[in-house]
Amino acid sequence: MRRYGFVGAGELTAAVVTGLSRAVADPPEIFLSPRGRGSALAARYPNVRVCDSNQGVLEHATTVVLAVRPPIGRTVVSELSWRPEHVVISALAGVRLALLREWAAPAGHVVRVIPLPQAAVGKSRTAVYPDHAAARAVFEQVGDVVVPAEEASLEVFSAATATFAAHLDYLATIAGWMTEHGVDANTADAYVTHIFGQLGESLSKHADLAALTGRHMTPGGINEQLMTDLRDDGVPDVVRRALDRILARLNG
């Protein structure tokens, strides 16, 4: 019988639990922490149950996903009574395996993961380290899995996910510029959302970003002009420096 526990019931847990539960003929049993999104998820999916405490999650499941905020991770994990048969799957950004093993002793296995919000629709590409059958059993149900070569590389994957809000802000800037030039705000938002949504469809079918970039511009055309202007203004270097700072924080 598949039983999964989640300590922490915020947005990330909601995405994974939704992906495991919606439109699934034989969903796993899922046990959630008593706070956060747990009650709403339990009301929506009959395979989901909210426990009276975090410890209750551990009593019902041996595969346990940690999805609490990293600053409170040590307090939450250390207060729980783990058993050797537990597999701890941590989504705590920047918290290394060595620390997790110390906090969750005597749990038998500790794995780190970086799930994506697209888990809710079965399209996450979850970074997992080290590779482990229990982690695959969870996250291959909500998308696919990528295994970095070493733990240090996992932090690079994590840093890359820090770009979501900045990317959306870039799109909002484009829509705002359209509005400043007389386009209705709702129309501008809908247009920008549409064209970049379609671009996302192209991205899902082509892994070579340099080749895809070339396909979306004509020599001497307006796409090339904008890209050149941004490069001349140092935008790529700004992005690299910001990512370096994120990576330093994760490694700190």
pLDDT reported for residue 207: 74
Q: What is the pLDDT of residues 93-140, one digit of tens each?
A: 999 999 999 999 999 999 999 999 999 999 999 999 999 999 999 999
CA dihedral 204, 206, 210, 213 (to 10 degrees): -70
Q: What is the mean pLDDT of the chain?
A: 96
> What's the predicted TM-score (pTM) here?
0.91
For residue range 19-68, what is the model confidence (pLDDT) as tens digits? 999 988 999 999 999 989 999 999 999 999 999 999 999 999 999 999 99
DSSP H helices in 79-184: 97-103, 133-139, 151-160, 164-180
Confidence band for 202, pLDDT divided at 50, 70 and 90 = confident
> How is residue 204 annotated by DSSP?
T
Answer whether 90's CB lies under 8 Å from 113's CB: yes
How much of the chain exceeds pLDDT 90, in percent? 92
Q: Hunting for tokens 């997992």 — which residue is that? A: 128
Q: Cα–Cα distances in Å, from 242 out to 116, 157, 238?
A: 21, 14, 6
**Residue 60: which of 14, 136, 133, 7 has the closest Cα?**
7
Q: Is 172 a residue whose pLDDT tops 90?
A: yes
